[in-house]
Chain A
Amino acid sequence: MKSGRLVPLVLLFVSVAVVGTWFREGIIYAGAEVGLSPYFNPDRFLGIQQFTWWDDVAPGMLAPHFISAVPFYFLLSILQPMFSPLILQAAIFCVIFFLIGYGIYLLATDILDESRKKYAVFATLFYMFNSYTLVSVWHRFLYSTLILAATLPFLILFWRKWIKGGRFIHLSIFLLINFFSVYMYGNLATVITVWIALLLISLAEVLFPWQGKYYTGKLIGKFFTGLILWLLVNIWWIAPTFLIAPVILSQQHSSENNITTLILLGRQTVIPYLLQLANPFYLFYRQELGEVYSSTFFRILPWIMSALILIGLFVSLKLKNYAKYAVIFIVALLLSKGAAAPFSYPFIFGFEHSFFIGIIRNPFEKLGILLPLFGSIIFAIGLEGCYRFGLRRFGLGVARFGVFIIILALIIFAWPMFSGRIFGNKEFPVRVKVPESYIQANEWFKQQKENQGVILHLPFSGQDVVTYDWKEGYHGVEQNEILFTTLPSLSRTVGVKRVDDTLNSLTYIFNQPFLENEEQILRVLQLLNIRYIVLHKDTKWEDVATYGKDIKLINPFEMEISLDRLNFLKKDALFDKLVIYSLKSQFYQPKIVFFDTAELVYPGESDIMQIMSFSQGKNPTITADYMDLTETVLSRIGEISIFPQNILQYSVASESALINMASNMLNDPNNPASVMGQLRTIEANFYQSGQLSSANLVREIIVTGETLVRYFNLIRQQAESKLIFSAIENYNDSLNNIFENNFKDLSLTKLYKQQIANFFYLHLYILEYIEKQRPDERQKISDISIKLINSLKDNDLLPVYLQSYLPGKQEINRKILKYKIPVKSKYEIYMANNNTPDFYPDLLSKLELRVNDKSATISGEIDDKRIFLGDYDFDGSLYEISYNVLLSVNLVPELDDFLKVGNIKSENFGALHLTANAAGIAFLESPIGNVKGRDIYKISVDVLFKQGSKFYVEVIQNTEDFEDKKKFQTLKQGDCTFHSCYIIELYPGKEGWQNYTFFTQALNLASRKSSIRILIDNGEILIKNLLVNKVFDEDVVLKKRVNELPDSLPVGFVTADYQSPVFYSGKIRLDKPTFLFFKETFHPGWNLQLVKDGKVQTVDNHYLGNLYGNIWWVDNPGDFDFRIEFTPEQNVGKGIAVTIVTTIIIVLINCFLYFKRSILRK
């Protein structure tokens, strides 16, 4: 049999055999980032993903880039009735496995000349079984990468034929392959990968060797013809994706995030791993394919292939037809390594200056497929070189044995492919068997007559990932919208910050103390159009690996008890670990509702629970620019609530402390304990974590400090005026450098706002001192100080009204809340009352409330929920309200009363002596009194290090494994796993007793119990004077009653037809002007049109409603036909039209060319 037929037959056999081993246990693979897609109910996926707006992921989500999956889902949905998900997945994997091999075989056959064609088989083996394909293609388990790996050789094959031969049929086949593999473009980085490969091939064709201007011109023409036709044929998914997706991506990823990811990954994919084509994260760090890959034998194996590639590289460079592939391989290597050395900076520069290329922030994963692709050609040539060398030197037998050993090494390294352990890891094996209870529950929903509303799935994590304790387990993206097919499912966030924050209320409202307010819970359910609740008792709610340290779900078994008590819920059905509740009919509100009264809310930086505690009426809320509201809308606004736009903690050390710090900074700036030393530590931490932009900014801030110190020293040394002048100019320039940059959006200013502010406050203090010493430079110094103050104010690092708070004898700690006042008026000032006054003696008198630079009189009326502070006339637009940050009384007992575990002795002077070593740790623990969610503590303790230099302070919450005593026994050295764990280290160069004082992070909002634990894992410390004080930290809210209006009444009637996720129509009858609330996620693309007597009226007054949805103000009553449409979807229709026209033209051109050729032949 000819190799042209034999090879595909063998490949088909190998594909069936290998993929067969993966499915021998009859279980499908699912989870991780792909979830249950695309085999579990592809028809449902198709129904959702054919639109750019997904209404089944309630309350609605914009997902334009998934539309490219439609052809694939369409194919699967046709096959769905005939085959089980298992058969479908196995068949698709088999096809991909085969195509990966066959594509590269055809490409290698096409590239290699006649004498080398037999080596195409070895290129095929290399491409199929190399380290990249093993880990980054198969194990990574992303369908876009799988399809890319299978398709790219075919794309390059026909693209080469097109640019070399210029036959239009080859370009047409190239476009056809693109259409069949369009699913891969769901990952936008694939577009870049494909076109980089095509560009490299085209460039190499014209450059190596240079073919002359005419050939180059022709090739450029072919390249752009191909590119334009590709764009036109793919415009149906490109248009919606690139017109809408950038907005979403910029919300989800910042430039700093992209650079940080790039740098961190660059540190992983360093040259020793890159040359093996190995992804070290999965292969070595997490050992997901087994510990065996860390053994010496397996660490040697990939170097055999790398050596052959290196040999192939040099052999190719000497061969006229292959040198280009060696150069392409080198370029691919430089692209795939990202920010790894050598030549790291071009990538970082690109990321700093273009947000778009952030989509390849993981270059090895996104572009790395180019390495095995072009590497396979180089590998074949290298193997041929070795074989010929062996043949010449040692004879046929040895040469063949050598080739056998090399191929054996390749196969052994890819062993998980043959053993069926290619996917997942021990913890999360990505094998899924959806429990029967889910099928039954879905069937139950299908039988319900009430087929409106949304199914809320609890516990709600506020994320999009979940872990279930199903028989085979499930860990991956939450996809209840696929498991429950009759109604939209609300079980995850939707990727829009404002909306996600509102949805996060679902994490907390079913827990104390919010659970006590049944009306509030009902209101939230009604506003989100909830009709049913499914409680998933199979959720692994305590799994830190899934949800992270910062959130802890509520135990679903406890939640069931809470839900049972709610009067407006009915327990309808129970399917194993799924409990179904429904909202009693009288409480359910439909998707479109009307209100004649609303509240105007400006949420600012406050979290949803703070906002909810201040707006508990029955009216909806709208958020809009006040100036955009018409008179009639304003006449229906009952109340305005303004939450702080920006919150700043402002601390000024006492004058004596400032003198001390300034002295340290000026006399010993290199001391790690000085302010500059602390900044250097912050800089090092940012470098360590890959946050380069923030690290560079800290460096520049340190440089300003160093320049200031140099300036001060020159004055002290009475240096020449020229030098002194030059120093102050340098200082001025370095300040300009800092504030000209994008200061506000960096992690530095979010995480270390206070430290940066304090550092510059120290500058101001030193400048003021110098100003007094150097009267002749007073003006210059004063100008710099003013400029610095203004820059700090502009960047929210200092309050605007600073002059009232110059340093004094006492330290000043104030909370500054900034407000944008929508309309000049008198507002009432409130704070939430969380039993606050009980723990802060003389709270109201000590608050010293100020509005801007004026003291505000506090009336101090306190009720159950609020503290009324007084009225104030706000006659401007920007205001600052500030109050003293107060500390509660000490909330922990004496040290002797703490729980003590390990080697702990009491000393005479009230101290405790803790000793820990390899034999065991030691810790003290005590509950903290009066805990509520979001508490922040100031912890202060005196410590004497006898041995060692480190210990831990942990703040444990009941939302963590609070009661888990086993944890104490399993604590080991370096264990610091709880939400708030603080490492206390000995100040360098310090001896004797030291005081350590710090503020903790805020507790989880749902926490009700908390403990402090002092833990040492190695060494000896003495501690005394431990104080834990709660920080008074309530937001201040401004309220204004605009109109005395009763709660909203029913004002209209609607009959709505659900046409599609992007189009609703029906009839409405309005008795009077009204707010129409449409319970889908807000997007400016939603458009409301009213039709009466053939006249179409577009309603312009479109606002954010209830902090997530759409509200329109309809000001003319009557009977109307209405249409609500998501207008960006029209891009899809236009795109499809262009695609169809282009495809018809391509077909016609091919027909014309075919007949022309036939005629010429005759």
Chain B
Amino acid sequence: MRYLLGIIFFAIFSLVFIILEYGRFTLQKDELIQPVIFAAVAAAIFINCKCRRFVLSFSLILIIIMVVFYLFNNLSVSNWIGSLGVGILVILIFSYLPNLIKNGHI
């Protein structure tokens, strides 16, 4: 059941993140990567809250890699990794909204 729910959430989130990113569904294959990762992260958090610590670590690692690429003057890669990391971080923080609304903190 959880597996099925995961797939359904993943599909719904994929559509949401594609719209949020591009506003259209006619995409090149490489354009799909970020929305799909965002959808996978969001679905994973939705299904299993315990994975949030891992997601946090993942996003922080991405941001650190972004800085490394930036310092080595590879802006396009840095931007791609950075926007992925920040996107995941935003999803993660928004996943805490119920806690924030209830308690005022996480």
Residues of A within 8 A of B (CB): 207-210, 270-272, 275, 296, 299-300, 303, 310, 317-324, 326-327, 330, 333-334, 340-346, 348-349, 699
17 residue pairs bridging A and B, Cβ less than 8 Å apart: A207-B100, A207-B101, A208-B105, A209-B100, A209-B103, A270-B83, A275-B82, A296-B71, A299-B71, A319-B105, A321-B104, A323-B106, A326-B93, A340-B83, A342-B34, A342-B83, A345-B21
Q: Which of B38-74 contact A (CB under 8 A)?
A: 38, 60, 63, 66-67, 70-71
Q: Which of B68-106 contact A (CB under 8 A)?
A: 70-71, 75, 78-80, 82-87, 90, 93, 96, 100-106
Q: Which residues of A contact B96 (CB under 8 A)?
A: 317
Residues of B within 8 A of A (CB): 17, 19-23, 26, 34, 38, 60, 63, 66-67, 70-71, 75, 78-80, 82-87, 90, 93, 96, 100-106
A209, B70: Cβ atoms closer than 8 Å: no
Which residue of B has the minimal Cβ distance to A284? B75
B103, A320: Cβ atoms closer than 8 Å: yes
A348, B23: Cβ atoms closer than 8 Å: yes
Find A344's partner among B21, B26, B82, B85 (CB 8 Å cutoff): B21
A330, B93: Cβ atoms closer than 8 Å: yes
Which residue of B has the minimal Cβ distance to A296? B71
A303, B105: Cβ atoms closer than 8 Å: no
A341, B21: Cβ atoms closer than 8 Å: yes
Find A210's partner among B17, B87, B101 (CB 8 Å cutoff): B101
B59 smallest CB distance to A (angstroms): 10
B86 smallest CB distance to A (angstroms): 5
B106, A343: Cβ atoms closer than 8 Å: no
A342, B86: Cβ atoms closer than 8 Å: yes
A330, B90: Cβ atoms closer than 8 Å: yes
A1044 smallest CB distance to B (angstroms): 63
- Give A345 to B16 CA distance when docked, in angstroms: 11
Q: Which residues of A contact B23 (CB under 8 A)?
A: 345, 348-349
A206 smallest CB distance to B (angstroms): 10
Q: Which residues of B contact A334 (CB under 8 A)?
A: 90
Q: Which residues of A contact B80 (CB under 8 A)?
A: 341
- Give A326 to B90 CA distance when docked, in angstroms: 11
B101, A346: Cβ atoms closer than 8 Å: no
Q: Which residues of A contact B34 (CB under 8 A)?
A: 341-342
B102, A272: Cβ atoms closer than 8 Å: no
A209, B104: Cβ atoms closer than 8 Å: yes
Which residue of B has the minimal Cβ distance to A322? B105
Which residue of B has the minimal Cβ distance to A340? B83
| 7 cross-chain pairs, A with B, having the tightest CB-CB distances, nearest first | A342-B87, A209-B104, A271-B82, A345-B23, A341-B83, A270-B79, A323-B105
Q: Which residues of A contact B78 (CB under 8 A)?
A: 272
Contact flag A209-B71 (CB < 8 Å), given A271-B86, A341-B34, A342-B21 = no
- Give A270 to B78 CA distance when docked, in angstroms: 9
Find A272's partner among B20, B79, B84, B87 (CB 8 Å cutoff): B79
Q: Which residues of A contact B75 (CB under 8 A)?
A: 270, 272
- Total contacts A to B, CB within 8 angstroms? 99
B93, A344: Cβ atoms closer than 8 Å: no
Q: Which residues of B contact A296 (CB under 8 A)?
A: 71
- Give A322 to B102 CA distance when docked, in angstroms: 14
Q: Which residues of B contact A330 (CB under 8 A)?
A: 90, 93
- Where chain A touches its partner, the secondary structure class is helix
Find B19's partner among A271, A341, A345 (CB 8 Å cutoff): A345
- Give A209 to B101 CA distance when docked, in angstroms: 4
A54 smallest CB distance to B (angstroms): 41
A1104 smallest CB distance to B (angstroms): 42
B104 smallest CB distance to A (angstroms): 4
B21, A318: Cβ atoms closer than 8 Å: no
- Give A344 to B105 CA distance when docked, in angstroms: 28
- Give A344 to B90 CA distance when docked, in angstroms: 14
Which residue of A has the minimal Cβ distance to B84? A342
Q: Which residues of B contact A208 (CB under 8 A)?
A: 100-101, 104-105
Q: Which residues of A contact B66 (CB under 8 A)?
A: 271-272
Contact flag A344-B101 (CB < 8 Å), given A299-B70, A327-B93, A330-B93 = no
A343, B70: Cβ atoms closer than 8 Å: no
A344, B100: Cβ atoms closer than 8 Å: no
B87, A343: Cβ atoms closer than 8 Å: yes
Interface centre among B34, B60, B66, B67 (most CB of A within 10 A): B67
A272, B100: Cβ atoms closer than 8 Å: no
Q: Which residues of B contact A317 (CB under 8 A)?
A: 93, 96, 100, 105-106
A283 smallest CB distance to B (angstroms): 13
Which residue of A has the minimal Cβ distance to B93? A330
B63, A310: Cβ atoms closer than 8 Å: yes
- Give A270 to B83 CA distance when docked, in angstroms: 8
Q: Which residues of B contact A271 (CB under 8 A)?
A: 66, 79, 82-83, 85-86
A343, B21: Cβ atoms closer than 8 Å: yes
Contact flag A341-B79 (CB < 8 Å), given A326-B93, A330-B93 = yes
With A207-B101, A321-B104, A342-B21 known, 5 other A-B pairs at CB within 8 A are A207-B100, A270-B82, A271-B66, A271-B82, A342-B84
B22, A344: Cβ atoms closer than 8 Å: yes
B2 smallest CB distance to A (angstroms): 27
- Give A209 to B38 CA distance when docked, in angstroms: 27
B90, A320: Cβ atoms closer than 8 Å: no
B106 smallest CB distance to A (angstroms): 5
- Give A265 to B59 CA distance when docked, in angstroms: 25
Q: Which residues of B contact A321 (CB under 8 A)?
A: 104
Q: Which residues of B contact A326 (CB under 8 A)?
A: 93
Q: Which residues of B contact A340 (CB under 8 A)?
A: 83
Q: Which residues of A contact B87 (CB under 8 A)?
A: 341-343
Which residue of B has the minimal Cβ distance to A323? B105
Find B100's partner among A327, A342, A349 (CB 8 Å cutoff): A327
A688 smallest CB distance to B (angstroms): 14
A709 smallest CB distance to B (angstroms): 17
Interface centre among A321, A323, A349 (most CB of B within 10 A): A323
- Give A330 to B96 CA distance when docked, in angstroms: 13
- Give A272 to B68 CA distance when docked, in angstroms: 10
B88 smallest CB distance to A (angstroms): 9
B102 smallest CB distance to A (angstroms): 6
Find A318's partner among B20, B71, B86, B106 (CB 8 Å cutoff): B106
B76 smallest CB distance to A (angstroms): 9
- Give A207 to B21 CA distance when docked, in angstroms: 27
Which residue of A has the minimal Cβ distance to B19? A345
- Give A210 to B86 CA distance when docked, in angstroms: 26
Which residue of B has the minimal Cβ distance to A270? B79
Q: Which residues of B contact A275 (CB under 8 A)?
A: 63, 82, 86
- Give A278 to B23 CA distance when docked, in angstroms: 28
Contact flag A323-B104 (CB < 8 Å), given A299-B70, A310-B63, A341-B34 = yes
- Give A322 to B34 CA distance when docked, in angstroms: 31
Q: Which residues of B contact A322 (CB under 8 A)?
A: 105
Q: Which residues of A contact B63 (CB under 8 A)?
A: 275, 310
Q: Which residues of A contact B60 (CB under 8 A)?
A: 310
- Give A345 to B101 CA distance when docked, in angstroms: 27
- Give A349 to B34 CA distance when docked, in angstroms: 20
Which residue of A has the minimal Cβ distance to B89? A330
B24 smallest CB distance to A (angstroms): 8
A272, B93: Cβ atoms closer than 8 Å: no
- Give A300 to B60 CA distance when docked, in angstroms: 17
B20, A346: Cβ atoms closer than 8 Å: yes
- Give A346 to B16 CA distance when docked, in angstroms: 12
A683 smallest CB distance to B (angstroms): 13
A342, B101: Cβ atoms closer than 8 Å: no
A849 smallest CB distance to B (angstroms): 47
Q: Which residues of B contact A344 (CB under 8 A)?
A: 20-22
Which residue of B has the minimal Cβ distance to A211? B104
A320 smallest CB distance to B (angstroms): 4
Q: Which residues of A contact B38 (CB under 8 A)?
A: 342
Q: Which residues of A contact B19 (CB under 8 A)?
A: 345
